[in-house]
Amino acid sequence: MSGAPACGIDFGTSNSTAGWSRPGLPALLPLEGGKPTLPSVVFFHAEDEHVSYGRAALTDYLAGYEGRLMRSLKSLLGTAMIDDHTEVAGRALPFRVLLAQFIGELKHRAEKAADQSFSRAVLGRPVFFVDDDAQADKKAENTLAEIAHAVGLKDIAFQYEPIAAAFDYESQIRREELVLVVDIGGGTSDFALVRLSPERAKKAERRDDILASGGVHIGGTDFDKYLSLASVMPTLGLGSRLASGLEVPSAQYFNLATWHTINQVYSKKSWTQISDIRRGAVDKDKLDRLQNLVRERAGHWLAMQVEAAKIALSDAPQAVMDLGRIAPGETLTLHRPDFDGAIGELVGTVSRTVVALLKDAGVNGDDIDTVFFTGGSSGVPLLREQISALLPQARSVEGDRFGSIGAGLALDAVRKFG
């Protein structure tokens, strides 16, 4: 067993990767169509019980196949939902089994790409699965460990995701640096303040090099959610009035704006509630759009349009959303200030987390050499601006937004397992 190779597994909220560190070869293994990322998505086909994963799952859903799409699976860890189940093709599917199916598929694809079986792995984890609740956080890690063992990983270790990203960056530098790793993933924002150098990289134990780590349960899916609630859900009736003068109930809109609760809107109970609201609504056209969306089971489609708009608004001053699937011929134009306003409070919380981290470490912002950005949402302009303002002397370095953690976990697997 001592000679068995070990891999790194980054099970992400939006995308997942697997790495195997070998001299002279890329660490990340190709998982789908030659690409190193596998979107963390599962689609259960209703007709033939076939299950598709990643980009193929999204393609099947958008092609209109009957079935059930599940995304942001990692968000279940640390919540009461992890011990619950969902209905797929008329059968109860425990969420733990759902996560095991996806992680098992991730492991299988890594092994196929490596032409090598893996029974040892370093798994990435956020600094906090759950904010301000150590017991719930430990339960989330234990749940992930149990799932990893269930899919055939006999020996596992965990590493904080921003520290794994730090190890990836360290493999590229030639002198010592004090680095703040900023990892803005799909579900969490995580940070590590680490001393890195080629010499330090040779050490088996790196605890003394890690000055501080921290995080908060805010990530790219939250940016999606609040952009949707601020700009998109009002077109479906959020914030409008009933004939009684009361505001339209908001629960269905929050479910639609949150990736892992979208499917709840398709229940018979939800349809009855929406129909009752529509009857009493002043602006029935907006509720008609909402009913069209539920009838078409287009919640994930709409969430993908919001996600695409978020990405576009990170590079351009405006983005145009096509609402044609639920309102033929209609579009919605979103502007950068709309996005900034929607996520301003979230980004403020992220910035305060960085300030607290530096204070805990006893480090002045001017002492930091480099800010290493990684994670799929690390390019959000408002977030970049606020963090850069805190660290005006530090240079900004772009990591592989979707690959730095997996590559760093592969390096750590060599350190931990040989």
pLDDT in tens, 28-58: 999 999 999 999 999 999 888 899 999 999 9
Detail the DSSP E strand segments found in 126-278. Answer: 155-160, 177-184, 189-196, 210-216
Residue 354 is predicted with a pLDDT of 97
Residue 147 is predicted with a pLDDT of 98
Cβ(61)–Cβ(298) below 8 Å: no
Looking at domain 6-174+400-417, its CATH class is alpha beta
Domain range summary for the chain, segments of one domain joined by +: 6-174+400-417
Residue 3 is predicted with a pLDDT of 53
Residue 49 is predicted with a pLDDT of 82
What gap in Å lies between CA 394 and CA 217, rounded to an integer?
25
Helices and strands in the chain, H and E counts:
12, 17
Q: How many alpha carbons lie under 13 Å from residue 233 in its C-beta half-sphere?
A: 23
Residue 377 is predicted with a pLDDT of 94
Give percent of the chain with pLDDT exceeding 70.
99
Residues in the chain where the model's pLDDT stays below 50: 1-2
Enter the tokens of residue 374: 């990684």
pTM, two decimal places = 0.91
Residue given tokens 């919640």 in the structure block: 299
Among residues 372, 396, 390, which one has the least CA distance to residue 164?
372
Residue 280 is predicted with a pLDDT of 96
Residue 2 is predicted with a pLDDT of 44
According to the 3-state scheme, what is the secondary structure of 263-287?
A: HHHHCHHHHHHHHHHHHHECCHHHH
